[in-house]
Amino acid sequence: MSNHIKVFSPATVANVACGFDILGFAVDEPGDELRVSLSATKEVRVTSIECEGGRIPYNAEKNTASTSVIQMLKKLGSTQGIDIQITKKMPLGSGLGSSAASAAGSVFAVNKLLGEPFTRKELVAFAMEGERVACGIGHADNVAPALLGGFVLIRSYQPLDIITIPTTLNFVCLIVKPRGELLTSDSRKILEDKVYLKNMVVQTGNLAGLIVGLTQNDLDLVGRSMVDVVIEPQRAPLIPSFEVIRGIAKSCGAVGSSISGSGPSIVSIFSENSAATNAAKLISKSCDCEHIYITKVNYSGVREIDG
């Protein structure tokens, strides 16, 4: 058995408009790379971090990757030492599940090194503890799709009930990250506690339509259902370029657009790569964008890579 492993852990799009905290999917790029090794120290350590800005903590109790592993080892009753090297290949504070990618990648890697005592689905609970460190709430709509791939529904948190949505829908994602950062913790603070009944009816109808569209591989239905009348109206003002980006994407043929997770990234879905490419060119000319990705759904989740 090897004493080290290198993995790629994908970025994720949470909420998908109408599925706040309960729906997400993984994408092919961007993502994180982690190299994880067994050690004789009996400690979980973050030994190196490559990241723009250098703001990710080395402290094992505060880093999402190491915290998740600590919880996993506690469950096993193990004192196995673990060293984690993190290479962030995605922007922080982007709404693309940066903290989740590290948490999911680390528990997947350690699980592999220890002979896979847990299933991928069982690993989600440990990765959620990394999210709790990152933003104060242990939500699963990023870590679950990062680990499982594809589209994932969190039917319940108490008890945790995770469902992979059966779909092979093939579409192109245009992800635009405007310049600037929006922390999940800050983006959650502005949300109201109560929802009007009329909005609840619209939101649940859209969520049901989105899931049916996925299971029936109906891209038009998915696009029609990507409407958020609860969270997006509260968060959109935090993203000045949101309406411009969504408008350009729609004019180029996008079937749907939404804020990715807590923002500020915006995801639009297209049936053709050429339309997404055209939209990307127009958006880059009209808005101050830090990153633009044209990618597809990642149906495999975290995976081992060479290195």
Active site residues: 131, 184
Rounded to whole angstroms, the maximal C-alpha distance in the chain is 58
* Coil/strand/helix, residue 48: strand
Residue among 224, 225, 195, 223 at smallest CA distance from 207: 225
State which H helix or E strand residue 31 sits in: strand 23-39
Distance CA 158, CA 54 (A): 36
Rounded to 10°, the helix 64-76/120-135 angle is: 130
The dihedral region occupied by 197, where left means phi > 0, alpha psi between -120 and 50, and beta the remainder, is alpha
How crowded is residue 101: how many other Cβ atoms within 10 Å of its Cβ? 33
Distance CA 25, CA 34 (A): 20
State which H helix or E strand residue 249 sits in: helix 242-251
CA atoms within 13 A on the CB side of 119: 5
Our CA angle for 67, 54, 147, nearest 5°, is: 40
Residue among 31, 15, 9 at smallest CA distance from 262: 15
Cβ atoms 128, 154 nearer than 8 A: no
Residue among 136, 137, 135, 140 at smallest CA distance from 123: 140
